[in-house]
Structure 1
Amino acid sequence: MNHFLMYVNWNPDETLFSIFGIAIRYYGLLWCVGIALAYFIVRYQYRDKKIDEKKFDPLFFYCFFGILIGARLGHCLFYQPEYYLNHLVEMILPIQKVNGAWRFTGYAGLASHGGTLGLIIALWLYTRKVKMNYMDVVDMIAVATPLTACFIRLANLMNSEIIGNVTDVPWAFIFEKEDMLPRHPAQLYEAIAYFIFFLVMIYLYKNYNKKLHRGFFFGLCLTLIFTFRFFIEIIKENQVSFEEGMTLNMGQWLSIPFIIIGVASILLGKKLDKMNPPIKR
């Protein structure tokens, strides 16, 4: 049977609109929507736990810049170090030299593993400032994280990046910016999975929050996302040439430490409950 007519031809305009010559792209917009939704979900948890509003105020600043800086450095250092170590300005600022002139291009490369690591570090700095228990805070962030991850993968889909391997499944996407071959829409698979993980987290929070030990949500979030990420890499194209011939690609290697941390956080249970005092309200 010829499935060609059932394939999705995918070639969206990456730019939603322009303001004063600056392009507003779906990629950046979806990133912002994902982070904004997480902001409101975590704010709800702070209010639900009756935590002082003043402690919440600086959280967005730490999360936003932690994710952005971590994701950017992660992409540059994990995937293209040979280029960006010789183009430090392009690594730090959202500009690129094109035909001898600097142009605003936005951050074209952001790595989820780097963003996760950046967020973990930023939250450590945040908890030191506001005098809160670290695990209590990362648990609240973890409830919202899968939803943000969902929107980030939708952003990748709009950019026709992080594409899947060639396939003959009838729902394959033809990413016209890449080639005319039918491929797994790996970004969409991830977005759907992360949305389901978010629903699981919300259900557990609403029904079992007081019964679950400190660190459970953090551990579950890391375990679900990065275990799925590890296996979805099997049907994804390698992002950089040096991954060719590797037993595990870069995405899989980087997922393993997060899976280990996640499982440990789920299993440690009572030890995490005894770690430092509970939330100061």
Structure 2
Amino acid sequence: MLDFITWTADPAIFSIFSREIRWYGLFFAIGFLIGYQIEDKIFKHDKAPEGWVDKIFIYTIIATVIGARLGHCLFYGWDYYSQHPIEILKIWEGGLASHGGAIGIIIAILIYSKKVTHKNPLWAFDRLVIPTALVGALIRMGNLMNHEIYGHPTHLPWGFRFIENITAWRQGMEPIFSAPSHPTQIYEALCYFIIFLLLMYMYWKKNAGQRQGLIFGVFLVGVFFSRFCIEFLKNNQEEFEENMILNMGQLLSIPFVIFGIYLIIRALKQPIDTGAIIYKKH
């Protein structure tokens, strides 16, 4: 039996008028479509006014794309993008950071809560993060298809040999394979999917939506602590991280984990909010 997996997936599914349709974009879109359906059921269960779910969907998509792009440019490539600001707009060339996306969503939900729900933002966060965990899992599978964000060499039997010269290989050159490496994209995807199942269980079976901030807190701790741990196995994304004890992904994860722990403790100390699922339509 082989002691490694040679990964030769093409990042593109097909092309339309010279424009590639990529697995990454497809997984991203599928995640949002499924996420919308889940969110719609949650909002209907809570008897929220019509239109709230459509608006949170729009706010979230815009915030995710803008936040993830700016996060990549600011956290991982500021030396370059500060000198070439127009390049920030070229999102189709790649470069998204999940921490930036998370910050963008937080800002968007604060605005959404003020303008739409007129409720504590934790109400929206508790409901939004449930499908968000699933979207995160699908995005990491997109990273797998792109041969990117993988880990250190490993002797484990599930090590993947990724194509390092993916662009040149797609132009007809012979592939240059990495050493068998940790498929950290799969590790993260599995963690996020388990978190998604946990949050669904908490909301539908344990009525955790009545404890303001509890689901959001579990999401933050689960996702970003998983990310923090897996980063120890992952190759650094930028050269400046080589001399750091903790890389940028880990440093950015710590505040989210701390805030998540605070929300969990706070939620468990607060009385149950029985009004969280009772609304009258406007």
Give the TM-score normalised by structure 2. Answer: 0.89
Q: Residues of 1 paired with 2:210 and 2:94: CA distance? A: 39
| Partner residue, 1:159 | 146
| Partner residue, 2:10 | 13
1:87-131 Cα distance to aligned partner (Å, 9 max, x none): 22221233xxxxxxxxxxx14111111111101111111111112
Q: Residues of 2 paired with 1:255 and 1:132: CA distance? A: 27
| Partner residue, 2:174 | none
- Structure 1: tracts of 5 or more residues without a match: 95-105
Aligned letter for 1:255? S
Shift of 1:132: 3.1
Shift of 1:33: 1.2
Matches within 5 A, 1:129-278: 129-130=115-116, 131-177=118-164, 179-209=177-207, 212-269=210-267, 278=276
| Partner residue, 1:24 | 21
* Cα contact 1:84–1:91 (8 A) shared by 2: yes
Q: Residues of 2 paired with 1:109 and 1:194: CA distance? A: 21
1:119 to 2:105 alignment: yes
Aligned letter for 2:141? L
- How big is the alpha-carbon RMSD for the aligned residues of Structure 1 and Structure 2? 1.9
Aligned letter for 2:24? Y
Higher helix share: 2
* Cα contact 1:72–1:107 (8 A) shared by 2: no
Q: Residues of 2 paired with 1:12 and 1:260: CA distance? A: 38
Shift of 1:68: 0.7
- Out of 75, 84, 89, the position equivalent to 1:78 is 75
Aligned letter for 2:258? I
Aligned letter for 2:213? G
| Partner residue, 1:57 | 54
Shift of 1:278: 5.0
Q: Residues of 2 paired with 1:198 and 1:150: CA distance? A: 9
1:240-271 Cα distance to aligned partner (Å, 9 max, x none): 00001211000000000000110011011267
SS at match of 1:57: helix
* Cα contact 1:229–1:255 (8 A) shared by 2: yes
- Structure 2: tracts of 5 or more residues without a match: 166-176
Q: Residues of 2 paired with 1:213 and 1:140: CA distance? A: 12
Q: Residues of 1 paired with 2:128 and 2:271: CA distance? A: 18
SS at match of 1:124: helix
Shift of 1:156: 0.7
Moved more, 265-274 or 131-140: 265-274
Higher strand share: 1
SS at match of 1:263: helix
Shift of 1:56: 2.0
Q: Residues of 1 paired with 2:143 and 2:209: CA distance? A: 37
Q: Percent identity?
A: 42
* Cα contact 1:145–1:221 (8 A) shared by 2: no
| Partner residue, 2:169 | none
Cα distance change, pair 246–210 in 1 and its aligned pair in 2 (3 A) = closer
Shift of 1:272: 6.3
Give the TM-score normalised by structure 1. Answer: 0.89
SS at match of 1:23: strand
Moved more, 204-213 or 249-258: 204-213
1:208-241 Cα distance to aligned partner (Å, 9 max, x none): 1158510000000000000111110111001100
Shift of 1:11: 2.1
SS at match of 1:24: strand
Q: Residues of 1 paired with 2:178 and 2:70: CA distance? A: 32
Cα distance change, pair 128–273 in 1 and its aligned pair in 2 (3 A) = farther
Shift of 1:31: 1.2
| Residues matched between the structures, number | 266
* Cα contact 1:133–1:278 (8 A) shared by 2: no
